Amino acid sequence: MSAKTTRVRELHLIVGFDGSPAALRALDTSARLLAVRPPGRMTVVWVAHLASTVSLSADAVAIVEHDFDQVAQELRAAAAKQLGDSQVAWDFRWRQGQIAHELIAVAKSVQAAEPDDVVIIEVGSSSSAMHRMVGSVAVNLAHHSPVPVTIVP
């Protein structure tokens, strides 16, 4: 009798990150999950979002994009600090657009590049007044994501 070994599929977590307490909880939860369920890796994603009602001149767009670069650097540093001792493989990406749409796009690109990986989007849940008024990213993801979504309270 021969023992058949099966390859353990890599778990790839896409973590929406904006530096908020909810995002920090999602980052911590993801790191703990990957620590007990190897192999795996994490892609930390910040999405710069401007409301569709904002119209900017070309000069203003250049300033905003420079500011976005700075915010992305700060968030990458915050994620690195939070994940410092975790030994989890991770990378950081920043995108611009609608948050749920961009997180789904990252998940799809990861899944296309590594079709055998299990891809899951993780986001922190917030009960802020803004989310109650305009809708939650987590709810939007739950309705539209082609990959599983974990919402960390």
What per-residue confidence (pLDDT) applies to 127?
55
Residue 135 to residue 144: CA distance in whole angstroms: 14
What per-residue confidence (pLDDT) applies to 58?
64
Give a yes or no: residue 139 inside a domain.
yes
Which residues, other chains included, contact 31 with Cβ-Cβ below 8 Å and sequence gap of 6+?
A: 42, 82, 83, 86, 88
Give a yes or no: residue 28 inside a domain.
yes
Write the single-letter amino acid at 37.
R
- 37 falls in which pLDDT band (50, 70, 90)? confident
Question: In the chain, pLDDT over 90 holds for what percent of residues?
Answer: 35
Question: Residue 59 above 80 pLDDT?
Answer: no
What residue numbers bound the domain in which 75 lies?
Answer: 11-152
Question: Residue 79 above 50 pLDDT?
Answer: yes
Instruction: Please give the distance of CA 66 from its chain centroid, rounded to a whole number.
Output: 21
Give a yes or no: residue 144 inside a domain.
yes
Give a yes or no: residue 134 inside a domain.
yes
Q: Which of 5-9, 30-34, 62-66, 145-149 is predicted with the least confidence, judged by mean pLDDT?
A: 62-66
What per-residue confidence (pLDDT) applies to 30?
92
Give a yes or no: residue 69 inside a domain.
yes
- 114 falls in which pLDDT band (50, 70, 90)? confident
- Count the domains in the chain: 1
Give a yes or no: residue 2 inside a domain.
no
- Please, what is the end-to-end C-alpha distance for the chain in angstroms? 47
User: 13 has which bridge partners?
Assistant: 42, 120
What per-residue confidence (pLDDT) applies to 134?
45
Q: Is 12 exposed, middle or buried (0-12, 13-18, 19+ CB in 10 A)?
A: buried
What per-residue confidence (pLDDT) applies to 106?
94
**Residue with more model confidence, 121 or 135:** 121
- 105 falls in which pLDDT band (50, 70, 90)? very high
Mean pLDDT value across the chain = 82
List C-alpha distances in Å: 132 to 40, 97, 127, 136.
34, 20, 7, 7
Give a yes or no: residue 5 inside a domain.
no
Residue 147 to residue 97: CA distance in whole angstroms: 20
CATH code where residue 88 lies: 3.40.50.620
What per-residue confidence (pLDDT) applies to 63?
64
- 130 falls in which pLDDT band (50, 70, 90)? very low
Give a yes or no: residue 4 inside a domain.
no
